[in-house]
Amino acid sequence: MFQGLSEKLQETFKRLKSKGKLTEADVNEAMREVRMALLEADVNFKVVKDFVAKVKERSIGQEVLESLSPGQQVIKIVNEEMVALMGGVSSKINISSKPPTVIMLVGLQGAGKTTHGAKLANMLKKQGKHPLLVACDIYRPAAIKQLEVLGDQIKVPVFSLGQENPVKIALASLEHALSQGLDVVIIDTAGRLHINEELMGELKDIKAAVKPHEILLVVDAMTGQDAVNVAESFHGDLGIDGIIMTKLDGDTRGGAALSVKAVTGCPIKFAGIGEKLDAIEPFFPDRMASRILGMGDVLTLIEKAQEAFDEKQAREMEQKLRKQEFTLDDFLDQMQQIKKMGPLGSLLEMIPGAGKQLKDAQIDEKDMSHVEAIIHSMTQEERRKPALIKDSRKRRIAKGSGTSVQEVGRLLKQFEQMQKMMKQFAGAPGMGMMGKGKK
């Protein structure tokens, strides 16, 4: 996410920090670099101009330049202004006190509307809501089927009346939700390749009929400033309450995410970060700014961990660690839990300062699957007592897992080191690794 921008800004900041004292010329030079980096990331020209002017004005004040760590102060200002640029606080969706809450998803074809309808439903379901997905895209023949398949995957009901009039479908879905006790209705509307009157007319009709609590525009971050233009048009014509910015996992330069709030006044409420149905995050401007500036995003990381690990399992694992009963099977378990948190690359980006170094170290998800295969090729006894594994067993395991004797040896060595480390943890009172984070 935003790699190019992030790397350039971090280089500029490194130079700033290395200087003990800053002059106005230093700040000007740094701001020129910031401006270039933002423009290259496809941030809207006017947004860049205002942003740089604000940061410069605040940075050139005497207080900053004469402070003990002027470089740090300037970075702090850039961070604050970047958070403000993206809307300051995180914006939640309007949940109506009188169910069902109606959410209408709009956007151009291919932006990720249908996928994000399902992601949103999945997320709300995890939060204890009972969503209904509604298929109002009657033009694209596969759209209804696509929604049904996705609904099936996440076990959320899908309401459809085939090619019936979309307004009728939307209205009927509300009654259906009421009768079934479903409290959130997510309407997937039709997209078009381009904005046109027919599309807007239809969306306005649905809006007038169902009076949604929330109209969310789905835009594709990869389209850069086009996404911002699309948002401006939709907001002007239809009025939207928020944006779902999709495909932020791709090779995006970040321009759309950084400009859209400033240009349209509409906040990004969710970010789509992959094709899988759990690849959606609430959008937090402060966390996003931290990631862009290479300061990591520990809060999101913790939330992901809390979702992936259940508390009981964590407690059992802690017991095992304390009693030094941690086996290769447990190791495998832990690895699978971590995989549930999302792609490794995106997790690494959230670790403060570690993003770039670790990325350069090229952590390979294939390595993880090798480790899994190796452990699966061991007998239960071997997993409990890895010391049993001598040369001939190593050869058997390597063959069974399609890896090499060296890889098996390396894993055993790493596991042994891990056990040694755990002994030290277990020996120190109050140092249970997992216990520390427990509520």
Using CB under 6 A as the binding rule, whether residue 275 contacts ligand GDP is answered as yes
- Specify the residue, 110 or 427, whose C-beta has the smaller distance to ligand GDP: 110
User: Mask of contacts with ligand GDP, 278-307, x by CB under 6 A?
Assistant: -x----------------------------
Stretch that binds ligand GDP, among 206-214, 274-282, 296-304, 366-374 (CB under 6 A): 274-282
- Specify the residue, 70 or 274, whose C-beta has the smaller distance to ligand GDP: 274
Stretch that binds ligand GDP, among 195-203, 241-249, 349-357, 362-370 (CB under 6 A): 241-249
Using CB under 6 A as the binding rule, whether residue 240 contacts ligand GDP is answered as no
Which of the residues 349 through 408 are near ligand GDP (CB under 6 A)?
none
On whether 191 is known to bind a ligand per the annotation, the reply is yes
On whether 291 is known to bind a ligand per the annotation, the reply is no
On whether 121 is known to bind a ligand per the annotation, the reply is no
Q: How far is the CB of 361 from ligand GDP (least distance, A)?
A: 24
Binding residues with ligand GDP: total (CB under 6 A):
19
Using CB under 6 A as the binding rule, whether residue 109 contacts ligand GDP is answered as yes
Stretch that binds ligand GDP, among 54-62, 162-170, 245-253, 429-437 (CB under 6 A): 245-253
- Specify the residue, 74 or 244, whose C-beta has the smaller distance to ligand GDP: 244
Using CB under 6 A as the binding rule, whether residue 249 contacts ligand GDP is answered as yes
Contacts for 377 with CB less than 8 Å, ≥ 6 apart: 396, 397, 400, 401
- Specify the residue, 142 or 418, whose C-beta has the smaller distance to ligand GDP: 142
The site for ligand GDP (CB under 6 A) is made up of 107, 109-115, 191, 218, 246-247, 249-250, 272-275, 279
